[in-house]
Amino acid sequence: MTGRLAFELVRRGFRRHATYRAANFAAMVANTVFGLLIGAIMLAAIRSAGHPIAGYDAPRVLAYVWLAQAMIGPVAIFRQSDIAERIMTGDLATDLARPADFQSWWFCDDIGRASQQFLMRSVLQFAIGAAIVELYLPPAGWRWAAFFASLALAVMASFSMRFIMNLLVFFTVDGRGPLALHTFLIVGLSGMTVPIGFYPPWLATVLRALPWYAMVQGPIDVYLGLRGAGGTLALQLVWTIVLLALGRSILGVASRRLVVQGG
Amino acid sequence: MTDAWRLWRLMVGAQVRAQMQYRTSLMIEASTGFAVTFLDFIAVLVLFQHIHALGTWSLPQVAFLYGLSGVGFALADLVIGHIEDLSELIRSGRFDVLLLRPVGTLLQVVASDLAIRRLGKMFQAAIVLGWAISQLDIAWSLTRVAMCFVAIGCAAAIFASIWIAGACIQFFALGAGEIANAFTYGGNFASQYPVSIYGPWVRRFVAYLVPIAFVAYFPALAILDRPDPLALPHWLRYASPIVAGAALGVAMAIWQVSVRHYRSTGS
Amino acid sequence: MSMIEAVDLVKQFTVYRKRGALRRERTIVTAVDAVNLSIEAGEMVGYVGPNGAGKSTTIKMLTGVLTPTSGDIRVDGLVPARQRTELARRIGVVFGQRSQLWWDLPLVDSFDLHRHLYRVDATAHAHRLGELVELLDMGPFLRTPVRQLSLGQRMRAELTFALLHDPEVVFLDEPTIGLDVVSKARVREFLAARNQTYGTTIILTTHDLDDIERLCGRLLIIDHGRVIYDGGLDALRDRYEPHRTLVVDLVAAAPPLEVLGTEVIKVEGPRQWLRFRRDTTTAAEAIARVAAVAEIRDLTIEEPDIESVVARIYVDGI
């Protein structure tokens, strides 16, 4: 995979998703409404408690809500079945016959997609949130830098997980199983519904070691300064590498099966 | 009216028969639905680890709201949720085929599916509702029981009208259907919590514009016979049937207008 | 009153095009430009035109799917835009490319649902269904899910669905598209018989001019939203293609024959194509004159086909 090809793929991924203007706009509206609602509920919870919960005061919990909503796009929480679709239509064989590396191809494509979602959706959504409610904003410049690095790693970690789950479709009869499981796991374990810090401490510790933590709550923790940035970034990197490697071996198994079955 | 019911039964019956052929797939989807909606409730449980009440509402009371809204929502989803796929119908030209038949388009769209897999969600909400009822000290009477059923029906009707009205966006902006999610799924989410915790603007929105407050909040006030922290007029607690009827009426009118627009602009 | 009557029918669409990043350009496209139609009950009419000419738009307005921008339409006395459901009961429609049947269900279920949709009396329905199933030989696949049917089978099913409620008018949009020769012939025979026996008015939109040639007495040609021809096929032929061709197989190859009233347009070995005008020379005369100067082994007369006539009209205009 040459640098030139990689750049082209990223650009194409970006462009492809940029054309869905109406859908992007609609998603933004939906996420903004959810941001307002979930924010209201979290605020009510903190007010009822009378004190911050697990280190989350009002500005921090609102930042959590709006960040989580803003990350839905780039981290692809709900929509991630491109590869699975190509498997189900039988196009996988043609894709594997290409001279470029399959996993790297989709990786670059995903970076393009995530960049588009980030620039044309997340930034706007978050800005709207910041304008409407009083959100916590990190004071130090390095924290912002660490956050963006963490965000990039979250995208990659999410990709590597999605890659595996999509490929698993190859081994099942009905494509819906692995994808449904993936959505369930990522919504449940990544901290999308409620901050992981709210869970009982033992459970929170377990969840923070899992790959899904790297996808949503991890970057948020870096942003809020609730946990060490270095440790989180390292965890994200490790999981990304591990999952990418796992993805490659599963891909190897699938390709060998394809060859045997004759595509 | 009975004509429409008969037609709905027949068309849906045929669809369900076709779906039943894929029984295992159905079971998997129902179980996944059950599991995913359960995550929603876990969030509520987690919150209540740190607080004793949300506003003036205890965990069982919030669970009651959650269950009531959830069952109503799942019921509406079962019958009409697939209207979200309207954009597919329009894009493929199959909506035009509906216009060729001597039956109203809305009835045809509604009768085109009955999503059996949604029963997983309904089951989950029913369990939460059951648990809530077991924990609460409700003064049960025949009226109160009837009120529960009526509340569920009205909740379903209100969600159905939001679904219909939301789908109509696709007649005007084909790709923008997701906006409706803010009001259907968002509406479900908003109605799981007491309206009293929302700020004044949100409260006005969910009472008058998209009547989410009448899905669970007001009926719960009546059934649980508890004071309203907002001190709103007492009769509102019993207004759900009127609101549900009006909502359906408005939604159907919006559909008519939208189809008229579609018929003059083509696809 | 005519079965189908359209007066000054106009349909305009507003089309938005992006000009640069933010601006949008608005243009009004007139798809149907003051079309006038009058079709009597029992007629079988062909409706022909190049892609984008306004054919489907007209049909959609006649069937109530689209509302006109201006103009009056009456189909069987009803106004399609306002009385859609009432009209739907009296018309049958077959869209060649979009199915009216229920995709995942066995074919017979679609027919059953038809009865309830169109509120047809059970005995009449059963009788008609039996008749059509036999005529179109659908027995073998009545229980097959529609998505598994071949195109030919599905077409026959669509025709049945369109006719089960005994409509006054039937609109067929590309009914023979993609069908093999045998199926096409079968569908054509069926339609012709239907028109003869039941007097059903049939409007046939098609690109296949063989369909028109074999079935329709009358042809409407639409181009750029206007009806540019409305009349019989023979009249069309006479007006636009006044030539016929005599094809002779000579005993031996010969230089192009010079015969009064004819013009050689092609030579292939012993075979020559001689063109002559039908209004100045009869076929008999042409044959006689050729026979006088050459030894003929075999011959045929070729009529101009509608295909070439209409193609010329599309290109040259009328």
DSSP assignment letter at A194: S
The C-alpha atoms of residue C306 and residue C204 are separated, in whole angstroms, by 15
Query: Is 90 exceeded by the pLDDT of residue B165?
Result: yes
Tell me the pLDDT of chain C (318 aa) as tens digits: 789 999 999 999 988 777 666 677 888 889 999 999 999 999 999 998 888 888 889 999 999 999 999 999 999 999 999 999 999 999 999 987 789 998 888 999 999 999 999 999 999 999 999 999 988 888 999 999 998 998 888 988 999 999 999 999 999 988 888 888 888 888 888 999 999 999 999 999 988 777 888 888 899 998 888 998 898 887 887 777 788 888 999 888 888 888 888 888 888 888 999 888 888 888 888 889 888 888 889 999 887 777 777 777 777 766
The C-alpha atoms of residue B242 and residue B248 are separated, in whole angstroms, by 10
- Cβ separation of B99 and C102 shorter than 8 Å? no
Contacts of B54 in chain A (CB under 8 A): 41, 44-45, 48
- Cβ separation of A193 and B189 shorter than 8 Å? no
Q: What is the pLDDT of residue A263?
A: 46
- Cβ separation of B176 and A177 shorter than 8 Å? no
Averaged pLDDT, B171-189: 88
The two tokens of residue C250 are 């000579």
Per DSSP, the residues of A96-133 read HHSSS-HHHHHHHHHHHHHHHHIIIIIHHHHHHHHHHS
Query: Is 80 exceeded by the pLDDT of residue B75?
Result: yes
Which among B17, B122, B3, B126 has a CA at the least distance from the CA of B63? B126
Q: Which of residues 43-62 of A touch B (CB under 8 A)?
A: 44-45, 48-49, 53-54
Q: How close, in Å, is residue B251 to chain C by CA atoms? A: 21
Give residue C260's Cα distance to chain centre: 39
Which among C78, C56, C89, C86 has a CA at the least distance from the CA of C203? C56
Q: What is the pLDDT of residue C19?
A: 67
| pLDDT-flagged residues of chain A (< 50) | 263
Using CA coordinates, name the residue in chain C closest to B6: C116
Q: What is the pLDDT of residue B267?
A: 61
Averaged pLDDT, B24-36: 80
Which among C236, C168, C232, C251 has a CA at the least distance from the CA of C202? C168
- Cβ separation of B40 and A38 shorter than 8 Å? no
**A203 interface with B at CB cutoff 8 Å:** no
What chains are in contact with A, requiring at least 3 Cβ pairs below 8 Å? B
Q: What is the pLDDT of residue C240?
A: 75
Per DSSP, the residues of chain C read --SEEEEEEEEEEEEEEEETTTEEEEEEEEEEEEEEEEE-TT-EEEEE--TTSSHHHHHHHHHTSS--SEEEEEETTB-TTT-HHHHHTTEEEEESSS--S-TTSBHHHHHHHHHHHTT--HHHHHHHHHHHHHHTT-GGGTTSBGGGS-HHHHHHHHHHHHHTT--SEEEEESTTTT--HHHHHHHHHHHHHHHHHH--EEEEE-S-HHHHHHH-SEEEEEETTEEEEEEEHHHHHHHH--EEEEEEEESS--SPP--TTEEEEEEETTEEEEEEETTT--HHHHHHHHHHHS-EEEEEEEPPPHHHHHHHHHHH--
| B237-265 pLDDT, tens digit each | 889 999 999 999 999 999 999 999 999 98
Which phi and psi angles does C104 have, rounded to 5°? -90, -10
DSSP assignment letter at B55: T
| A81-111 pLDDT, tens digit each | 778 878 777 777 788 888 788 898 889 999 9
Comparing C279 with B82, the larger pLDDT belongs to B82
ipTM over 0.85: yes
Q: What is the pTM of this model?
A: 0.86
The C-alpha atoms of residue C161 and residue C145 are separated, in whole angstroms, by 15
Q: C289 Cβ partners below 8 Å, 6+ apart? A: C259, C260, C261, C262
The C-alpha atoms of residue B48 and residue C28 are separated, in whole angstroms, by 60
- Cβ separation of A41 and B193 shorter than 8 Å? yes
